Amino acid sequence: MSPHAARLLGTRRRRLAAAGVAVVAAAGAALAATDPFASTGAPGSALDNAYPTSTATVTRQNLSSETEVSATLGYEGSYSVSLPTGTSAATMAADRTALQADRAKVAADTAALGRARATGRAQDAATILGALAAESADTTALSQANTQLATDERLGCPSSSAATVTTATGTGTGTGTGTGTGTGAGAGNAGSGAAGAAAHVRRVVPGASTVPTPLRPTVTTGSAAVSASESVSLSGSVDPNGSDTSYRFEYGVSAAYGGSTTVESAGSGATSVPVGATVTGLVPGTTYDFTLVATNAGGTATGAIQTFQIPTSSCTAEAVVVAADTEALAVASDSVAADRAGSGAAVAQDAQTLAGDESALRVAQSTFAADAEQAVNPGARVTALPTAGQVVRRGGAVYGLDGREVPLLYGSVTPYRALSEGVGDGADVAQLQRNLVALGFGRGLVPNGHFGPSTKAAVEAWQRSTGAPPTGIVALGDVVVEPGPIAVASVSAADGVAATPGLAILTATSTSLVVTIGLDASLQSDVKVGDPVTITLPDNSTTPGTVTSVGTVATVPSSSAGGGSSSPTITVLVAPTHLRATAGLDQAPVNVSITTATVSDVLVVPVDALLALADGGYALELISHGVHHLAAVSLGLFDDADGLVQVSGSGIAAGDRVVTPGT
């Protein structure tokens, strides 16, 4: 029985006791015709000369019992966005260098084995001495090349070696011979004026002081200074012509450019000022175009297109030299072995060397593939951040890295690997495909979880639309994945900060409001998904809702963890039906009325019609043909919201009149 019903019954019990009435022990006992319950006033106006009365009708209807609980209305879900950890761009570059070197060694081993198999039979002592001399010379050359490679690696692999090591050449006479040649060179150049070598870079900053007749800026594209194997400093000059002027460099491998440096200010002076920018992450051995672009109130001016070339790493060049010297030494050694013992031993030795180097190549290939699967966005700095309260939807930028947007995609699979053509099938690929289709890319693309040519083409088209290089690869950190739109709660990173692995960017919530209830665990079986509820808002207005989730694990509230007596609770989630009624509320306290039981087609009376009998149990005061009598009843379900109770007993039927307290 609810507390409200108990209070009503207690009032009625006190009323009977005050009247001094001898309560009947059996149902249906008729009262005397003189009506001992009647007051001295008008008939039926009072039971005990102290309380006014009224009457109600026994009805047959469906009845529900509701429980009202406290809850919280707020946004569902809490998300933290951070930069991922994985394989850095530097590690990937080292993997590529090692893989190239191992491939060169296997090629050299294969050639050496072919020559060994063609070597003749053992020759005389002079031939052996000649072969030994060639072997010695090639050993010296290999040692020099290895020393130079070690030096270049200590210096960070500059664009060219301090010296070029040329492999010595050795020749044996007779049917067994050994020769080896090797060269190494590293070179890089940067163009200046109209003769530079190439990367497309353009830079634009909006805004210029308003002047009566503003003039366009005067722009001169300068030179490109290559300072490292993957970095270049671009220069030029801008004359603002008296208006607030911004500039940027644009660069790329074609006239379409595709890359751009950060927009910066050239001031508002009337004389030419030098400007510059640094571009990193370029591809060794590649030629780029670049130009300088400046904008003010008078318009946009673009300088001449210049070019520059990123040289091949000196370590790569020296690795080729080492491979060539190794091959030469192997050939010379094969000649010695062949001249001493015939061709059989040399062939066996070269076959063994080839097998070992092929095994090393397989390891290098496996390492490269594993690292490539964990490759992360190579961005060096955070360059754009949202504001607290901002809502980001699918395709919108969550933040920026090196001037490029990192967009939001919808899904439940957290990115755990880089995705590219040939990667293993998986739910993460299907998730990417669904987002591409939703964003308008990959018409006809089937989200089957297989990354094939059609998925690659869709990724490239999407990347081009965002200004990113169309690589067809989605690395870790290229996107943020959340279940749906997010509302930014707080931003922890700062614009321009270094993009270190694990850097916390922001926290966010979903944009869906939900009511969270800590329901007494004893009521778990009374609530199910889909049940309707009534939500009472802080302003006492009500709005309907529906149960969307019923927890299965009971927990003890934190307030009782220290020894309190609070009962265990389960988490129940409710979705408001009318979102407009809850707009603007977050973490607001509300009350929720939950239907915990329902009965159909039962006899129902007002709760305050019940009389508590002195020896226990309850009765109703029935009126039949002007005669009042008590009828014992059994109680069923209570409806606190409407003040009704289910009753049953002999002699009670729908339509009977019962006495209730008056007003």
| pLDDT grade for 595, boundaries at 50, 70 and 90 | confident
pLDDT digit string, tens, across residues 331-351: 777 766 656 555 566 778 888
Q: Topology of 382-510 in CATH?
A: Muramoyl-pentapeptide Carboxypeptidase; domain 1 (1.10.101)
User: Which 3 state secondary structure label does DSSP give 270?
Assistant: coil
Q: What is the DSSP string of 194-244?
A: GGPPP--EEE--------SS--PPEEEEEEEEEEETTEEEEEEEEE-TTS-
Sheet containing strand 273-280, edge to edge, reads: 218-228, 231-239, 273-280
Summarize the confidence of residues 257-266 as an average pLDDT.
93
Joined together, the tokens standing for residue 398 give 């969550």
Q: Would you state the pLDDT for residue 370? A: 82
Selected residue with higher pLDDT from 471 and 330 = 471
Between CA 462 and CA 439 the distance in angstroms is 8
- Nearest Cα to Cα of residue 505 among 522, 483, 480: 480
Q: Which of 187-196, 406-415, 496-505 has the lowest mean pLDDT?
A: 187-196
pLDDT exceeds 90 at position 498 = yes
| pLDDT grade for 612, boundaries at 50, 70 and 90 | very high
Between CA 197 and CA 224 the distance in angstroms is 8
pLDDT digit string, tens, across residues 156-183: 666 665 444 333 333 333 333 333 333 3
pLDDT digit string, tens, across residues 533-587: 899 999 989 899 999 889 988 888 765 445 555 789 999 999 898 878 777 777 7
Q: Would you state the pLDDT for residue 294? A: 97
pLDDT digit string, tens, across residues 27-82: 333 333 334 344 333 333 334 435 688 999 999 999 988 788 889 888 877 889 99
- Residues 651, 653, 657, 658, CA torsion sign: positive
Between CA 587 and CA 516 the distance in angstroms is 10
Between CA 590 and CA 487 the distance in angstroms is 22
Joined together, the tokens standing for residue 16 give 């009977």
| pLDDT grade for 222, boundaries at 50, 70 and 90 | very high
Q: What is the DSSP string of 508-558?
A: EEES-EEEEEEEEGGGGGG--TT-EEEEE-TTS-EEEEEEEEE--S-B--G
Q: Would you state the pLDDT for residue 301? A: 96
Q: Would you state the pLDDT for residue 212? A: 61
Domain chopping of the chain, boundaries: 1-76+513-663, 89-187+313-371, 189-309, 382-510
Summarize the confidence of residues 2-14 as an average pLDDT.
43
Q: Would you state the pLDDT for residue 310? A: 80
pLDDT exceeds 90 at position 260 = yes
Q: How many CB atoms lie within 10 A of CB 166?
A: 17
Q: Would you state the pLDDT for residue 372? A: 78
- pLDDT averaged over the chain? 79
Joined together, the tokens standing for residue 120 give 């003749």
Among 2.60.40.1890, 2.20.25.160, 2.40.30.170, 3.40.605.10, name the CATH number for the domain at 1-76+513-663: 2.40.30.170
Q: Would you state the pLDDT for residue 184? A: 33
122 class by beta-carbon count within 10 Å (0-12 exposed, 13-18 middle, 19+ buried): middle
Q: Would you state the pLDDT for residue 341? A: 56
Q: Which of 124-138, 544-558, 611-625, 646-660 has the lowest mean pLDDT?
A: 124-138
Q: For the whole model, what pTM was predicted?
A: 0.45
pLDDT exceeds 80 at position 604 = yes
Q: Would you state the pLDDT for residue 47? A: 41
Selected residue with higher pLDDT from 564 and 470 = 470
Q: Which of 104-113, 208-217, 255-264 has the lowest mean pLDDT?
A: 208-217
Give the best-scoring range by mean pLDDT among 189-193, 430-434, 467-471: 430-434
Buried b (16+ CB within 10 A) or exposed e, 591-601: bbbbbbeeeee
pLDDT exceeds 70 at position 220 = yes
Summarize the confidence of residues 489-507 as an average pLDDT.
92
Q: Would you state the pLDDT for residue 91? A: 84
Q: Using N-to-C axis directions, what is the helix angle for 314-341 and 125-154, rounded to 10°?
A: 160
Domain 189-309 has CATH 1.20.1300.10: no
Q: Would you state the pLDDT for residue 332? A: 77
Q: Would you state the pLDDT for residue 317? A: 67
| pLDDT grade for 96, boundaries at 50, 70 and 90 | confident
pLDDT exceeds 60 at position 376 = yes
pLDDT exceeds 70 at position 276 = yes
Residue 233 belongs to what H/E stretch?
strand 231-239
Summarize the confidence of residues 601-622 as an average pLDDT.
93
- pLDDT above 90 coverage of the chain, percent: 42
Give the best-scoring range by mean pLDDT among 172-176, 295-299, 359-363: 295-299
